[in-house]
């Protein structure tokens, strides 16, 4: 389609001109040519050839122009660059080895950078902690496994009960240090109820002891580092935060029982099978927990099950570990904290109800026990411990077990429809045999 749009008075000629020509100039009175019409006010004879000879109206030839210096200069530069590139490429093609290798080719050497890191960084804490963390290789009659542990005062090694329980009475344990050396070890004592055990390597222990921190000072969001031997990969370091506190978790013992229920520190630091018994440390390099369990999508929670981390790991608070380890070293056994009640497992209401009748030979409230002395009776419903609500029996059990015998707790409970409070001094169950397995 032709575009017929144009401005008023525009010429039919295009407005662009051939390259190298200037636009025509409007003639003046002094340069009218022979082809122009007579101008008004002048007689025709005035424009006769006699008055104005044709030669007088001959157009002057255009003034010659000089060469375009800038264009030539630019062309010269381009030609020089192209010629140089072609020459270089030709030189390379003529001189390169036929095999395609270049014997004279070298890369720059790496720069000399310091390997030291700030003490509070992950690398700084790992450098401090790793020498104190060990791997345990355990063999029994028909089972074998690996786990982790760490050295404490006196050259003792703290680990999980479920790590060393595999050895039984006739098995053997070998401790492998971070420097690659190893030594045989024996069980000093183990406690299934807390999932803590202590072993003692033979000979001198060259690994430094790892300082124990204060787990009561831990808060959600604190950065933490887990160290151990997941899947037998010794000296593995992972990092994360404390994602929750006071989680009732089954870390060992028999599934479905209240054995090895811990008031756990929850962390998203990657923990996998083999991390059991390894330390969870803070940014000061102090132990705040012993890694013991992970949650799994399949429903299992023990680290011994072959499942990977999903960001839900659990550690036994070090304040409980400190007491248990000390008792195992000094007596070979550990006491389990109790308040002397039997829980009604069929109760579905608010809080935790004390049984209303004897079950399996266990009376609802132990006569003369801590709960009885504080005034609790069969059928009472415990609502809070130290101001924290208890939603089920697991929460009550782990809360009491996290206390040391002799500690006091304040209970809020309902008795015959009336809400009361009482202070209970935590007791202990009879200690089991001190003979280590």
Q: Cα–Cα distances in Å, from 364 out to 25, 53, 354, 401?
A: 122, 144, 6, 19
Question: Distance (Å, rounded) from C-alpha 99 to C-alpha 105?
Answer: 14
Reported CATH class of domain 215-331: mainly beta
Question: Domain 337-428 is classified in which CATH homologous superfamily?
Answer: PDZ domain (2.30.42.10)
Q: What is the pLDDT of residue 74?
A: 79
Q: What is the pLDDT of residue 34?
A: 40
The pLDDT tens digits for 82-102 are: 777 777 766 766 666 667 788
Terminal-to-terminal C-alpha distance of the chain? 102
Contact 174, 202 (CB under 8 A): no
DSSP codes of every residue in 188-225: EEEETTTTEEEEEESS---SPPPPB--GGG--TT-EEE
Question: Distance (Å, rounded) from C-alpha 65 to C-alpha 20?
Answer: 10
Domain boundaries, the chain: 122-201, 215-331, 337-428
Contact 219, 213 (CB under 8 A): no
Bridge partners for 192 per DSSP: none
The pLDDT tens digits for 21-74 are: 444 444 444 444 444 444 444 444 444 444 444 444 445 555 555 557 877 787
- CATH number for 122-201 (one of 2.30.30.280, 3.40.50.720, 3.40.50.2300, 2.40.10.10): it is 2.40.10.10
- H/E stretch holding 402 reads none
The residues annotated with a catalytic role in the active site are: 162, 195, 276
Q: Is the pLDDT of residue 375 over 80?
A: yes
Q: Do domains 122-201 and 215-331 have the same CATH topology?
A: yes
Residues of the chain by 3-state class (helix, strand, coil), percent to 5: 20, 30, 50
């Amino acid at each position: 389609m032709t575009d017929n749009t144009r401005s008023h008075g525009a010429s039919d000629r295009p407005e662009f001109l051939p390259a190298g020509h200037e636009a025509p100039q409007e003639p003046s009175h002094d340069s009218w040519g022979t082809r122009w019409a007579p101008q008004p006010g002048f007689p025709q004879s005035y424009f006769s050839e006699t008055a104005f000879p044709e030669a007088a109206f001959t157009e002057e030839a255009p003034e010659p122009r000089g060469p375009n210096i800038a264009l030539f200069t630019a062309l010269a530069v381009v030609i020089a660059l192209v010629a140089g590139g072609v020459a270089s490429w030709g030189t390379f093609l003529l001189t390169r080895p036929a095999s395609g290798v270049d014997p004279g080719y070298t890369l720059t050497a790496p720069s000399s950078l310091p390997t030291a890191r700030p003490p509070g960084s992950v690398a700084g804490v790992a450098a401090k902690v790793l020498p104190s963390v060990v791997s345990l290789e355990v063999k029994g009659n028909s089972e074998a496994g690996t786990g982790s542990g760490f050295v404490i005062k006196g050259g003792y090694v703290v680990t999980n009960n479920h790590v060393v329980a595999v050895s039984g009475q006739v098995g053997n344990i070998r401790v492998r240090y971070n420097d690659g050396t190893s030594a045989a070890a024996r069980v000093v004592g183990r406690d299934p109820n807390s999932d803590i055990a202590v072993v003692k390597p033979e000979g001198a222990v060259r690994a430094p002891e790892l300082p124990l921190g204060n787990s009561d000072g831990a808060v959600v969001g604190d950065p933490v580092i887990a160290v151990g031997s997941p899947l037998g990969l010794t000296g593995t370091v992972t990092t994360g935060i404390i994602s929750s506190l006071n989680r009732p978790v089954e870390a060992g013992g028999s599934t479905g029982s209240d054995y090895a229920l811990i008031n756990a520190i929850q962390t998203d630091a990657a923990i996998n099978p083999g991390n059991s018994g390894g330390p969870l440390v803070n940014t000061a390099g102090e132990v705040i927990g012993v890694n013991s369990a992970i949650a799994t999508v399949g429903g299992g929670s023990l680290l011994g099950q072959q499942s990977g981390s999903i960001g839900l790991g659990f550690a036994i608070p070090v304040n409980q570990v400190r007491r248990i380890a000390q008792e195992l070293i000094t007596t070979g056994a550990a006491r389990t904290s109790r308040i002397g009640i039997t829980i009604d497992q069929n109760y579905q209401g608010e809080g935790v109800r004390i049984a209303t009748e004897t079950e399996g030979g266990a009376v609802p409230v132990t006569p003369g026990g801590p709960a009885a002395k504080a005034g609790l009776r069969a059928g009472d419903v415990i609502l809070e411990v130290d101001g924290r609500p208890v939603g089920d029996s697991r929460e009550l059990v782990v809360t009491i077990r996290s206390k040391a015998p002799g500690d006091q707790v304040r209970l809020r409970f309902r008795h015959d429809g009336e809400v009361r409070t009482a202070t209970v001094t935590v007791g202990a169950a009879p200690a089991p045999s001190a003979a280590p397995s």
